[in-house]
Amino acid sequence: MGITFSERLKQFFRIQPSLSDEFFEELTDLLVEGDFGPAGAYQAAEKLRGVCKKEKITQGDEARLALSRLLEGVLIPPGSPPWSAAQGLAVILLLGVNGVGKTTTAAKLAYHGRLDNRKPLLAAGDTFRAAAVEQLKIHGSRLGVRVVAHKHGGDPAAVVYDALDAALSGGGDLIIADTAGRMHTRSALVEELKKIDRVVEAKAQGARYIKWLVLDATTGRNALAQARTFNDAVPLDGVILTKCDSGAKGGVVFSLAAELGLPVAFTCDGEGYEHMKPFDPRSHALTFSGLA
Ligand SMILES: Nc1nc2c(ncn2[C@@H]2O[C@H](COP(=O)(O)OP(=O)(O)O)[C@@H](O)[C@H]2O)c(=O)[nH]1
Ligand SMILES: [Mg+2]
């Protein structure tokens, strides 16, 4: 693997003799490469130009620090996880396309919830893929967490309904529902997700209900397109970024905040249960800028 994007950004700032017009143009191009998208990259570079002028910054390293501060300001702090905020039932619905890491993330959330003294229940809402229920059951038995499942091809809303029933009768206080990332058609998937959403809204009144989109960090700008699609179908509370260990550039996180108002709740950097941590805007901005 070559040098990371953050290292390139760092070098770019290092070699600047002056913060000329050309510098800000090149910075824009570089941010586009870092998954900012053209409009976001231009805005960030222009904002930085303004800050440098106002604060009389002339050195590359100072400018990089200013960029990091500016980018941190774009990000939305995730708040505390739903299981730690209050007592009572919490319901997490995980959405996202195939292969992004939903099922693995469901298991990680159960693991972390239990560390915080919650009693998780996993709901096997991906009834579309034959192996999906089995995959979640394997996690459930490793973790000692109950998995509510129906058979392959069943109605996922009914699975979630049963998980809610089980929780409300004392079987748990943190439901983590996995869902399918693919159906026969996109509209079928959207209808299915809306139905699950209606079931939770109706049956879990008073519960803390969170909808998180799982995104593979290595898919770059495509992640933003996915977020738009899902957010239109079922308004999201935030995203969980997976595979941050696999060479992601990290710029899309700023677009998720600036363009869709979505915070990142957690980042995952490996397949193990412990490879998930709460997202920290400051450290993301510093790492992105090559300062951490
Ligand atoms: N390297 C890495 N792999 C991950 C991470 N999260 C999930 N995976 C892997 O990605 C693949 C797809 O995950 P899965 O949970 O089945 O995705 P789903 O289709 O969205 O449910 C599996 O091989 C996981 O082990 C992560 O944070 N880092
Ligand atoms: Mg899955």
Mean pLDDT of 56-79: 95
String of DSSP letters for 69-103: HHHHHHS----S-HHHH-SS-EEEEEE--TTSSHH
Point out the least confidently predicted range of 13-17, 125-129, 132-136, 264-268: 13-17
Q: pLDDT tens for residues 170-219?
A: 999 999 999 999 877 888 999 999 999 999 999 999 899 999 999 999 99
- pTM score, whole prediction: 0.95
Buried b (16+ CB within 10 A) or exposed e, 226-257: bbeebbebbebbbbbbbbbeeebbbbbbbbbb
- The chain-wide mean pLDDT, for the chain, equals 94
Position 11 pLDDT exceeds 50: yes
Handedness of CA 277, 258, 194, 133 (dihedral sign): negative
Q: What is d(CA 62, CA 52) in angstroms, rounded to the nearest whole number?
A: 9
Domains of the chain: 5-74 (1.20.120), 82-288 (3.40.50.300)
> Given ligand 1 and candidates 242, 244, 267, 275, which is best to mutate, with the most ligand atoms within 8 Å of its CB?
242
Q: Give the ligand 1 atom nearest the CA of 100.
A: 20
Give tens-digit pLDDT for 220-246: 999 999 999 999 999 999 999 999 988
CA 93/CA 186 separation, integer angstroms: 18
Q: Which of 15-24, 67-76, 145-154 has the lowest mean pLDDT?
A: 15-24
Provide the 10 A C-beta neighbour count for residue 50: 11
Q: Answer yes or no: are the C-beta atoms of 288 and 258 closer than 8 Å.
A: no
242 touches ligand 1 (CB under 6 Å): yes
The reported pLDDT for the residue numbered 87 is 79
Q: Please say if the pLDDT value at position 114 is more than 90.
A: yes
- 229 Cβ contact partners less than 8 Å away, ≥ 6 residues apart: 186
* Ligand 1 within 6 A of CB of 270: yes
- The DSSP element (H or E) to which 179 belongs, if any, is strand 174-179
Res. 69: pLDDT tops 90: yes
Which residues crowd ion ligand 2, with CB under 5 Å? 102-103, 132
SS3 221: helix
